[in-house]
Amino acid sequence: MSRINSFDKYSRKVFRLEESLPLLKDTRKEPDIDIGDIFRGYYFGSALRMKATSTIEEEIREGVLKKRVKQNISDDTFGYGLSHLEPQSLQQFWYMLIKRAKRNGMLRDNPFLDYSVGVLDGIETFSSYYQECDNCLTRKVTKKNKKNGKEEFVEMIQYYHRAVVLTLVGYDFPIPVGLEMMRKGEDEINCALRLLKRIVNNLGVRFLDIVIGDALYCTPNFFKECKLLGIYAGAVLKDNQENLLETALAQKKITEPVIVQKKDKEELKLWDLKEVIWDTANTDARVLWADRKVWERDPTKQGNKGKRGNLHHWVEKKNVFAFSEDINLPPEVVYSIGRHRWDIDANIFMDIVKHCHLKHKTLHFVNAYENMLSIRLISYMLFRFFFHRHINSRRKEKIASPAKMVRMMYRDACLNIEPETVLLE
């Protein structure tokens, strides 16, 4: 069986993808091409990291996706169909897949003593000075311009889209579970809270135990709203919450670290500061303060390859996290939760933005853009389950990376195109 066929089967059997497709609500009247087919085309195209819908169109017509999608779908139909797909119904479809993963026991075994941990983060997926849609956010940007040989600074309006994504961490790969597009005039925290409320309403209060974010999320409002939802909050603590940081520092000075670790390339001192007064929040916080010394390559030094040791030096680093005061887990676990906040930057967003071409300016219509982003994340999630839990877990010789797996999948799908389709051309 070709690998893409096996991915198709995996999606159907393990996640019952086909059974959930009727959840998708299409507002087109009597469409020629079913929305399920459009989803399927974009879903497989995303898994194979295809850049534009015009490429997906070609691959459905006479390439590797011919066997996956029943009818030919033009570039325009993708755009029109996806802009008439109700984003809420696609979110419902997404929840069904998450519920299946949970029911199948695929969300067990994380390193946080069975507490499920989500990371909230904003991702900018599009920006342009010339293209816009009704949902575009805007900002003023000063640009350097050359006019008649003279350099001048001009203020221009830039259009962009930003989404907040909730991702479960602590597993063999980060698992995206929902996204919400930022609306005009709204800040990231409000957008994130809208997403969190939706997740709790649809997946239940016990789905998520802890949610963390970067320093932007370290606000009294975010912590208060999470508490109302029954979720512990955590965030990177920096100068933007000066009074909390100062109180924590004062408390750190008069207490001993709870963990002191010395390894070859890292030294760690960790303080677990409980009941740190957070004046502006009218509550206390639990602060985890890590002073680290890390043996790192010194970027200012250059030398011969053979003399690597000389190019390294000790660098002092500091990581401070604020958590809800009543989070009842050992300090090393809470600290590890804080550190997982960086997983998604390094993993999912880089992967998706770099390889899945989210900055590509295709199909910039209301709804289409949001739906494409969601389908890309859904496809990422199922492909990663397939790669880590189905393919690599059974092999003695592991496939080095998901990207390599995609290349293998594409290559053997090329060998599997029926001969008559090649002759037709």
Site residues for Zn ion per CB under 5 A:
133, 136
Smallest gap from Cβ 53 to Zn ion, in A, equals 17
- Report the residue number, 44 or 126, with the smaller CB distance to Zn ion: 126
- Report the residue number, 106 or 133, with the smaller CB distance to Zn ion: 133
- Report the residue number, 133 or 249, with the smaller CB distance to Zn ion: 133
Pairwise CA distance, residues 47 & 68, whole Å: 12
**For residues 18-34, b (16+ Cβ closer than 10 Å) or e, as one string?**
eebeeebebeeeeeebb
Whole-number Cα distances in Å, 346 to 60, 285, 296, 339, 349: 32, 28, 18, 12, 7
Smallest gap from Cβ 163 to Zn ion, in A, equals 12
Pairwise CA distance, residues 360 & 343, whole Å: 24
DSSP 361: -
- Residue 324 makes CB contacts below 8 A (sequence gap 6+) with 223, 226, 227, 232, 233, 234, 285, 286
- Report the residue number, 136 or 375, with the smaller CB distance to Zn ion: 136
- Report the residue number, 134 or 425, with the smaller CB distance to Zn ion: 134
Smallest gap from Cβ 123 to Zn ion, in A, equals 15
User: Is the C-alpha dihedral spanning 316, 322, 325, 331 positive or negative?
Assistant: negative
Smallest gap from Cβ 198 to Zn ion, in A, equals 22
Smallest gap from Cβ 373 to Zn ion, in A, equals 12
Q: Which residues pair with 290 in a beta bridge?
A: 270, 319
Give Dmax (Cα) for the chain: 80
Smallest gap from Cβ 251 to Zn ion, in A, equals 46
- Report the residue number, 69 or 181, with the smaller CB distance to Zn ion: 181
Closest CA to 42 of 53, 26, 54: 53
Whole-number Cα distances in Å, 98 to 101, 180, 226: 5, 16, 21
